[in-house]
């Protein structure tokens, strides 16, 4: 009767292999079972308490409630409570002893069994005092505590179930004649065309072939802003279509889809072993041994002091109940479940829990440059006037000419103008200059945009120091020739992501060194390093050398994370103490990583480390509470406070034990609403559940 997360493999349709929601139904069944046993036991406890001599004496109702044979009636009700309400603990005892790993169920079952059989013996002739009422209330409290705990566990692991529910069950299949018919998602295949209507969920991964719309991928990626997508853009199954219908071609189905892979990652993460969890399990086992030992010693000690057997036994039973290591056993799993749910809901997918925990100890993070710190596309970085025209005018003319070209440099110039909101007219008489540039007429002006090679071929020399500086930085420079004179230069480079600066500043504030690894030229790497204020960088690194560079950093005595997105990053991701792949990267990179970031946003690297540190703090808080509580509670239950007139009954011990467990569960939940050390941009926000 353990509460650890039981995952089931995802089948080809993205659902659990177990019948109809297996995993969720398993937890739901356990919650319902504890709820039913609690209410039935609570009702049956009423007559047990009413017939208890101690309770009657306290309330002065001996004459009103006692009658001949009342002890047998109490025995019958208590027996039902013991066997029906106590069954989860009795079966748990059998399971734990069968595995030779006594734990919390062993303690509870031992305590209620000692109480039940001793009281039964008293009813049938043994001299002593019955405490059926303590037994019944103890079982009630334990069932209530377990019911609350199971609801917490089920709520914390609900991210998996929400992901499964994201996928629609039907799709509008488009026939060769353009007609549509509704079919189960399981019947669509690669290459099929599917119509997605406004407001509907996208049935599987694919590419838009007709139409344009905004797509809300928030539940999948954590990105709150809807993305505008049109022909040629990929869409993810489970995302929600916006205002327009579109037709998509199916690219991935079943277990291949992004959502199915995410579900599998979350499931594996929730099941992966945690070093802190191992520590908690060992502590729980030792606490069980200590409780049984102290309980036995308590019984013997009080008997030797001369106390009655029933008093001595009650002290021993209380020790075994109050020392139940349930809080300790849940201290880590609940935090793990909550942090996994938070991370999955925010596009931070943890594949290896142990590596995630190592995130709190990181000393250095090595970033791949292209596509991680930079956008992986050309953009305008500098506009250098060499004549009378302004920067904006030069960009306007250049964008007009380049708007007719499909060259990456041309696309970068046009994109630069649009980003700066510079409007430009359509050119005329456009003509490409093979290998050297292009020319056209813009606003009646004959304009050429050419490479440095063109200038050399035509003996045109530019001596401006600003041009030399950007060229030395490894940037690509093109020149604008107007009416035969060089009027300006435009420098382009792989654009540094605006969010990279924020991410690296936060990492440095956390005491983590930031480095970069790239196959680009020394000049390019140096420029990016200086722009971002990196602690170190490695340039012109061949793919097979990346892992050795990570080893080199590790040899400095640093705990190192690697962040990358390409096939050539896979060995380095594996070599690093923590491998982080960005979700826009390749399947190979993702498979080699310990953590996958859905967005290509370097701030998510900061977010995952902050979440790792916050998760560890919560685990430590819970472990300290659980062990510290028991360090005080066990001696109190054994009777060390007896000289002061303070005696804990088994039922009161159960109240304190359950309170400890509930506190641990609530503390784990606080991980959702506590703010992390720095103000993360999206991680610990409470999502609609």
At residue 620, the pLDDT reads: 86
The mean of the pLDDT values for the chain is: 80
| E strand residue ranges, 227-305 | 227-229, 234-235, 240-241, 246-252
What CATH number does the domain located at 374-496 have? 3.40.1110.10
| E strand residue ranges, 567-627 | 578-582, 595-597
Alpha helix (H) residue ranges in 60-157? 62-65, 70-80, 87-98, 104-123, 132-156
Confidence category of residue 85, pLDDT binned at 50, 70, 90: very high
Name the residue among 275, 274, 281, 268 with its Cα closest to residue 102.
281
Q: How far is the C-alpha of 573 from the C-alpha of 216, rounded, in Å?
A: 31
- Using the predicted structure, report yes or no on whether residue 279 has a pLDDT greater than 70: no
Six token digits for residue 543: 């793919």
Six token digits for residue 420: 């700066």
DSSP track, 215-241: EE-HHHH---SPEEE-TT-EE-TT-EE
Q: How far is the C-alpha of 473 from the C-alpha of 452, rounded, in Å?
A: 15
DSSP track, 420-441: TT---PPPEEEEEETTTEEEEE
Phi, then psi, of 599 in degrees rounded to 5: -90, 150
At residue 325, the pLDDT reads: 59
Which are the catalytic amino acids?
Answer: 368
- For residue range 195-216, what is the model confidence (pLDDT) as tens digits? 999 888 899 999 999 998 888 7
At residue 18, the pLDDT reads: 36
At residue 657, the pLDDT reads: 67
At residue 497, the pLDDT reads: 86
Q: Mapping DSSP to helix (H, G, I), strand (E, B) and coil, where does residue 416 land?
A: helix
At residue 685, the pLDDT reads: 33
Name the residue among 468, 599, 577, 428 with its Cα closest to residue 512.
577
Neighbours of 99 (CB within 10 A): 9
Q: How far is the C-alpha of 395 from the C-alpha of 386, rounded, in Å?
A: 13
Percent of the chain topping pLDDT 70: 80
Q: How far is the C-alpha of 651 from the C-alpha of 657, rounded, in Å?
A: 10
Contacts of residue 294, Cβ cutoff 8 Å, sequence gap at least 6: 319, 323, 634, 638
- Using the predicted structure, report yes or no on whether residue 313 has a pLDDT greater than 70: yes
- Using the predicted structure, report yes or no on whether residue 34 has a pLDDT greater than 90: no
Q: How far is the C-alpha of 462 from the C-alpha of 467, rounded, in Å?
A: 8
- For residue range 505-539, what is the model confidence (pLDDT) as tens digits? 999 999 999 999 887 778 888 988 998 999 999 98
What CATH number does the domain located at 343-373+497-608 have? 3.40.50.1000
Q: How far is the C-alpha of 409 from the C-alpha of 377, rounded, in Å?
A: 9
More confident residue, 107 or 139: 139
Q: Are 291 and 634 in contact (CB under 8 A)?
A: yes
pTM (2 d.p.): 0.62
In the block, tokens 């047990």 appear at: 48
More confident residue, 398 or 134: 398
- Using the predicted structure, report yes or no on whether residue 219 has a pLDDT greater than 70: no
Question: 167-256 and 343-373+497-608 share one CATH topology?
Answer: no
At residue 539, the pLDDT reads: 87
At residue 502, the pLDDT reads: 92
Whether CATH 1.10.1060.10 fits 167-256: no
The full set of domain ranges for the chain reads 167-256, 343-373+497-608, 374-496
Going by their DSSP bridges, the two strands 560-564 and 578-582 should be labelled as parallel
Burial of 146 (0-12, 13-18, 19+ CB in 10 A): buried
In the block, tokens 């600003």 appear at: 466
- Using the predicted structure, report yes or no on whether residue 16 has a pLDDT greater than 50: no
Q: Mapping DSSP to helix (H, G, I), strand (E, B) and coil, where does residue 346 land?
A: coil
Six token digits for residue 344: 């999955």
At residue 159, the pLDDT reads: 47
* Selection from 27-31, 96-100, 170-174, 228-232 with the highest mean pLDDT: 170-174
| Proportion of the chain in helix, strand, coil states, percent, rounded to 5 | 55, 15, 30
- For residue range 609-644, what is the model confidence (pLDDT) as tens digits? 999 999 889 888 888 887 777 777 788 888 888 888
More confident residue, 367 or 687: 367
């Amino acid at each position: 009767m353990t509460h650890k997360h039981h995952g089931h493999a995802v089948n080809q349709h993205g659902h659990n292999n177990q019948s109809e929601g297996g995993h969720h139904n398993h937890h739901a069944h356990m919650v319902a079972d504890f709820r039913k046993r609690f209410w039935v036991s609570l009702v049956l406890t009423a007559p047990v308490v009413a017939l208890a001599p101690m309770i009657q004496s306290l309330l002065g109702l001996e004459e009103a409630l006692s009658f001949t044979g009342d002890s047998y009636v109490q025995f019958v009700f208590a027996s039902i409570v013991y066997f029906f309400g106590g069954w989860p603990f009795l079966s748990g005892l059998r399971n734990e002893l069968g595995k030779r790993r006594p734990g919390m169920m062993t303690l509870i079952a031992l305590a209620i069994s000692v109480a039940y059989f001793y009281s039964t013996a008293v009813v049938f002739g043994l001299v002593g005092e019955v405490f059926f009422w303590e037994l019944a209330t103890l079982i009630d409290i334990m069932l209530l505590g377990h019911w609350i705990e199971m609801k917490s566990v089920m709520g914390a692991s609900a991210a998996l179930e929400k992901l499964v529910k994201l996928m629609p069950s039907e799709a509008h299949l488009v026939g060769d004649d353009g007609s549509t018919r509704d079919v189960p998602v399981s019947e669509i295949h690669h290459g099929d065309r599917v119509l997605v209507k406004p407001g509907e969920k996208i049935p599987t991964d694919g590419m838009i072939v007709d139409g344009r719309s905004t797509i809300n991928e928030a539940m999948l990626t954590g990105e709150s802003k809807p993305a505008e997508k049109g022909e040629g853009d990929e869409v993810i199954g489970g995302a929600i279509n916006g205002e327009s219908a579109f037709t998509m071609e199916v690219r991935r189905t079943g277990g291949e889809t992004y959502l199915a892979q995410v579900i599998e990652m979350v499931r594996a993460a929730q099941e992966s072993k945690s070093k802190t969890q191992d520590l908690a399990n060992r502590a729980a086992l030792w606490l069980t041994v200590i409780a049984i030992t102290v309980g036995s010693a308590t019984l013997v000690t009080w008997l030797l002091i001369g106390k009655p057997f029933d008093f001595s036994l009650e002290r021993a039973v209380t020790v075994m109940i109050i020392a139940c290591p349930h809080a300790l056993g849940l201290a880590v799993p609940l935090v793990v479940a909550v942090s996994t749910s938070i991370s999955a809901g925010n596009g931070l997918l943890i594949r290896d829990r142990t590596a995630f925990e190592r995130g709190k100890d990181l000393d250095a993070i090595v970033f791949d440059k292209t596509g991680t710190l930079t956008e992986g596309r050309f953009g305008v970085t500098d506009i250098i006037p060499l004549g009378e025209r302004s920067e904006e005018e030069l960009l306007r003319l250049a964008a007009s000419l380049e708007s007719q070209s499909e060259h990456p440099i041309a696309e970068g110039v046009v994109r630069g103008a649009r980003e700066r909101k510079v409007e430009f007219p359509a050119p005329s008489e456009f003509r490409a200059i093979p290998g050297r540039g292009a020319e056209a007429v813009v606003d009646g002006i004959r304009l050429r945009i050419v490479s440095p090679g063109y200038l050399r071929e035509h003996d045109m020399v530019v001596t401006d120091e600003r041009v030399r500086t950007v060229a030395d930085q490894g940037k690509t420079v093109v020149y604008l020739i107007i009416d035969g004179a060089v009027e300006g230069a435009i420098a382009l480079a792989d654009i540094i992501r605006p969010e990279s600066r924020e991410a690296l500043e936060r990492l440095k504030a956390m005491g983590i060194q930031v480095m970069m690894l790239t196959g680009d030229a020394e000049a390019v790497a140096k420029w990016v390093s200086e722009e971002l204020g990196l602690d170190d960088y490695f340039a012109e690194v061949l793919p097979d050398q990346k892992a050795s560079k990570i080893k080199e950093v590790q040899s400095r005595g640093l705990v190192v994370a690697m962040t990358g997105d390409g096939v050539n990053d896979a060995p380095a991701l594996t070599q690093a103490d923590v491998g982080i792949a960005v979700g826009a990267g390749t399947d190979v990179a993702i498979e080699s990583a310990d953590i996958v970031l859905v967005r290509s946003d370097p701030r998510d690297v900061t977010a995952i480390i902050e979440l790792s540190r916050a998760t560890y703090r919560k685990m430590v808080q819970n472990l300290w509470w659980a062990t510290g509580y028991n360090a005080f509670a066990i001696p109190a239950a054994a009777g060390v406070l007896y000289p002061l007139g303070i005696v804990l009954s088994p039922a009161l011990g159960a109240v304190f034990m359950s309170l400890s467990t509930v506190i641990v569960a609530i503390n784990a939940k606080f991980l959702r609403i506590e703010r992390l050390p720095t103000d993360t941009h999206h991680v610990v926000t409470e999502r609609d559940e």
